[in-house]
């Protein structure tokens, strides 16, 4: 599949009439409850499994895009110019190439309140905001389904960052990925809380891209796919039934299975540190006290907790620096 040609079937033809135009957008981040881990197509970020996430409306990225009268793109993240030698610079430029009219260059400025590359889904909100900003800059007025497909090309998990609440990304079956996009699950759960246990803002030692590839070749991977298919069904049922215990247990098991898979891979991948293990112990202590709190961990040492509002005070008492979010009672900010 030629990605540029594929993109041209999705976006309207771009006519630049105003070189001074700029685009801007905000996108929230999302936390996977049932993880996306492994690709059936690396170039198109097509997953081997469907995934389920929850959007965190107040955590995200604002991206501004403008044309630039220069020979190359300028990428600024949180006020710092990203050096052209950085892997991230190439990733952004390669993504922008898919949409670049003629040889125009871009200036991209992103401000994010999510620590970068620390397992808190900074790339999900970053690429989602970039696609929304492109939609704004070029006045495409594309529906969310198409925007979700484009965001997926930047970072898989970004395709889920275009909707509030629970979001499902169906893996799709087509080779061109036009059936692999995210959709909102129409169920609200206002009492649901997500606690961010920020243990480190240090960059992870291996990117999720590389770690995924290693895992896919691990002997335990087929089993992980099987479990994941069951996990997402159980989670969706638990959401429909508002069965928090069932949801929480399945979320934690999915995360444990993911990290067990990574540990058993060759080379072995370890995102946890001693603080992560200590925090998991605190979750176990709370559960032993009869409090329904569960953790999930992505490609980083930090943890995210799931619990209901009725238990928020008890969870906070155990985790001193816990940031508590209520995804269903917060609004996604509109960028103006
Ligand atoms: O979208 P990526 O390439 O940053 O991968 C995300 C991987 C996980 O965060 C670990 C899982 C997920 O579904 O978000």
| Residue 227 alpha carbon to ligand 1 centre in Å | 17
| Residue 49 alpha carbon to ligand 1 centre in Å | 12
Residue 215 near residue 261, CB atoms below 8 Å: yes
CA 47 to each of CA 1, 208, 217, 303, 321: distance values in angstroms, whole numbers, following the listed order:
16, 13, 14, 23, 34
| Residue 4 alpha carbon to ligand 1 centre in Å | 23
> Is the CB of residue 45 below 6 angstroms from any atom belonging to ligand 1?
no
DSSP-assigned letter for residue 245 = H
Q: Exposure pattern of 285-318 as b/e (b: 16+ CB <10 Å)?
A: ebeeeebbbbbbbbbbbbbbbbbbeebbeebbeb
What local confidence, expressed as pLDDT, does residue 17 receive?
A: 79
CA distance 237 to 232: 9
Q: Which helix (H) or strand (E) holds 247?
A: helix 244-264
**Residue to mutate (ligand 1; options 112, 298, 302; most atoms within 8 A of CB):** 298
Mean pLDDT check: name the lowest of 41-50, 228-237, 318-327.
318-327
Spell out the long-range contacts of 253-257 with Cβ–Cβ below 8 A and sequence spacing 24 or more.
254/33, 254/34, 254/35, 254/227, 254/228, 254/296, 255/35, 255/295, 255/296, 255/297, 255/298, 257/224, 257/227, 257/228, 257/231
Name the maximum alpha-carbon separation found in the chain: 64
Atom of ligand 1 nearest to the CA of 209: 3
DSSP string of 32-45, one letter each residue: EEE----EEETTTT
> Is the CB of residue 60 below 6 angstroms from any atom belonging to ligand 1?
no
> Is the CB of residue 252 below 6 angstroms from any atom belonging to ligand 1?
no
What local confidence, expressed as pLDDT, does residue 61 receive?
A: 95
Q: Residue 274 above 90 pLDDT?
A: yes
Higher pLDDT, 119 or 305: 305
Mean pLDDT check: name the lowest of 12-21, 146-155, 239-248, 315-324.
12-21
> Is the CB of residue 160 below 6 angstroms from any atom belonging to ligand 1?
no
Q: Is 73 helix (H, G, I), strand (E, B) or coil?
A: coil
> Is the CB of residue 120 below 6 angstroms from any atom belonging to ligand 1?
no
CA distance 151 to 202: 25
Mean pLDDT check: name the lowest of 79-88, 203-212, 287-296.
203-212
> Is the CB of residue 39 below 6 angstroms from any atom belonging to ligand 1?
no
Q: Is 297 helix (H, G, I), strand (E, B) or coil?
A: strand
> Is the CB of residue 299 below 6 angstroms from any atom belonging to ligand 1?
yes
| Residue 136 alpha carbon to ligand 1 centre in Å | 26
CA 10 to each of CA 18, 59, 141, 145: distance values in angstroms, whole numbers, following the listed order:
22, 28, 11, 10
CA distance 50 to 229: 7
What local confidence, expressed as pLDDT, does residue 118 receive?
A: 59
Q: Which helix (H) or strand (E) holds 278?
A: helix 274-288
Question: How large a percentage of the chain has pLDDT more than 70?
Answer: 98
Counted residue by residue, the chain has a size of 336
Q: Residue 219 above 70 pLDDT?
A: yes
> Is the CB of residue 148 below 6 angstroms from any atom belonging to ligand 1?
no
């Amino acid at each position: 599949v030629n990605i540029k040609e594929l993109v041209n079937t999705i976006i309207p033809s771009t006519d630049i009439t105003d070189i001074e135009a700029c685009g801007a957008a905000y996108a929230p981040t999302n936390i996977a409850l049932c993880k996306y881990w492994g690709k059936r197509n690396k170039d198109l970020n097509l997953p081997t499994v469907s995934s389920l996430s929850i959007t965190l409306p107040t955590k995200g990225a604002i991206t501004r895009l403008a044309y630039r009268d220069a020979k190359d793109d300028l990428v600024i993240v949180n006020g710092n110019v990203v050096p052209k030698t950085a892997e991230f610079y190439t990733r952004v430029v390669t993504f922008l190439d898919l949409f670049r009219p003629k040889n125009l260059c871009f200036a991209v400025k992103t401000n994010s309140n999510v620590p970068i590359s620390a397992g808190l889904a900074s790339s999900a909100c970053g690429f989602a905001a970039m696609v929304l900003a492109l939609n704004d800059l070029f006045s495409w007025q594309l529906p969310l389904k198409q925007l979700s497909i484009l965001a997926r090309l930047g970072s898989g998990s970004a395709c889920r960052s275009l909707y509030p609440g629970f979001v499902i990304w169906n893996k799709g079956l087509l080779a061109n990925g036009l059936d692999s996009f995210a959709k909102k699950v129409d169920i609200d759960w206002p009492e649901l809380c997500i606690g961010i246990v920020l243990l480190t803002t240090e960059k992870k030692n291996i990117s999720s891209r590389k770690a995924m590839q290693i895992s896919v070749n691990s002997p335990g991977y087929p089993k992980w796919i099987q479990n994941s298919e069951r996990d997402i069904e159980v989670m969706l049922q638990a959401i429909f039934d508002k069965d928090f215990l069932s949801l929480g247990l399945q979320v934690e098991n999915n995360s444990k299975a993911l990290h067990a898979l990574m540990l058993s891979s060759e080379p072995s991948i370890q995102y946890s540190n001693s603080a992560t293990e200590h925090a998991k112990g605190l979750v176990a202590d709370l559960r032993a006290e009869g409090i329904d709190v569960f953790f999930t961990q992505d490609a980083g040492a930090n943890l995210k907790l799931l619990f209901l509002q009725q238990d928020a005070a008890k969870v906070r008492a155990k985790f001193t620096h816990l940031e508590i979010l209520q995804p269903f009672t917060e609004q996604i900010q509109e960028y103006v």
